Structure 1
Amino acid sequence: MNVRQAVRRQYQALVDITRGGKIQVPAEGWIRTVRKALGMSGAQLAGRMGVTRARIAQMEQAEIAGGVTLKSMQATAEAMGCRFVYAFVPPDTVEAIIVAQARKKAEAIVATAGKHMALEDQAVGGNRTEREVSRLTSELLYEMPSDFWQDK
């Protein structure tokens, strides 16, 4: 394992930690949900933040619509005595996502080569094709070429 691969594995471990959190955004959004859980009115939150009650309502709506800024979320969380955290949560391990991309790329390369070979009446069987996909997947995983994430 080279230094680049070791660093990538360290980043993967950091991202994979988020998978266990099973975080779901509440239907009313975090601002309103936490505010209500604390028994805090919109006016009280507004007072703590130095903004109007209307601004709190706007932020709650903006959060639901996806238009609230990270800076606003952090300030609101702090005003409610909370810590604001955001994360990207992958559906699987980072390694599994990388392996899936390598396989997808390998299948595309082998399919393109197979079309050309078929045109020349040199088509190969399914078992040999699968072996080549596996071999190429391993090669792509090791080399991680610069076009690794380009689908075409």
Structure 2
Amino acid sequence: MKASHIELPPEGWLCTVRKALGMSAAQLARRLGVTRAQVSKTEKGELNGTVSLKTLQNMAEAMGCRLTYAIIPDTNVEDILAARAQQQATRRVEEAHKHMALEDQTLSQDQIKFEVERLQKDILQNPPADFWDDEA
């Protein structure tokens, strides 16, 4: 599941859509029952990340639009899970390999690779409770 990259317009979505509709800040303010200064502050707040979703929704509706909110992974979810499982599997195999080396029982690189792949599959099939815990 990978979505195309959508960039925030330089003036923000609120200002860009408002201007595309030919609506002044004063007109939008009247529709919202607020001051023009509040509309301007909200448009700036969108750009610096301080505006609430509820405020965005209210402004969108006042312009005859709807707000769509989404969290979009950088890659597909399966790849994110596989990478995390491989990270955990590699860490576990490396820890075990260190202990084995102390007992003069080291693994070959092929054996290490095989164990990482095997453990990665196990982790993906049954993720542990600490799957997303980061090591300190």
Is TM (by shorter chain) over 0.5? yes
Match of 2:29 among 29, 35, 46: 46
1:93-112 correspondence to structure 2 within 5 Å: 93-112=76-95
Report the CA distance between 1:144 and its aligned residue. Answer: 1.1
Query: Aligned equivalents of 1:77 and 1:132: distance in 2?
Result: 53
Query: Aligned equivalents of 2:26 and 2:122: distance in 1?
Result: 60
Per the alignment, residue 60 of structure 2 pairs with: 77
Structure 1, residues 75-94: CA drift from partner, whole Å, max 9, x if none?
00000110101100001111
Q: Percent identity?
A: 50
Per the alignment, residue 113 of structure 2 pairs with: 130
Query: Aligned equivalents of 1:149 and 1:100: distance in 2?
Result: 12
* Secondary structure at 1:20 match in 2: coil
> Structure 2 length normalisation: TM-score?
0.94
| Higher helix fraction (1 or 2) | 1
Q: Which runs of 5+ in 1 are unaligned?
A: 1-15
Contact 1:77 1:84 in 2 (8 A): yes
Per the alignment, residue 20 of structure 1 pairs with: 3
Residues 1:121 and 2:113 are matched in the alignment = no
Query: Aligned equivalents of 1:21 and 1:122: distance in 2?
Result: 49
Report the CA distance between 1:65 and its aligned residue. Answer: 0.6
Per the alignment, residue 61 of structure 1 pairs with: 44
Q: Which runs of 5+ in 2 are unaligned?
A: none
Aligned AA (2:119): L
Residues 1:36 and 2:19 are matched in the alignment = yes
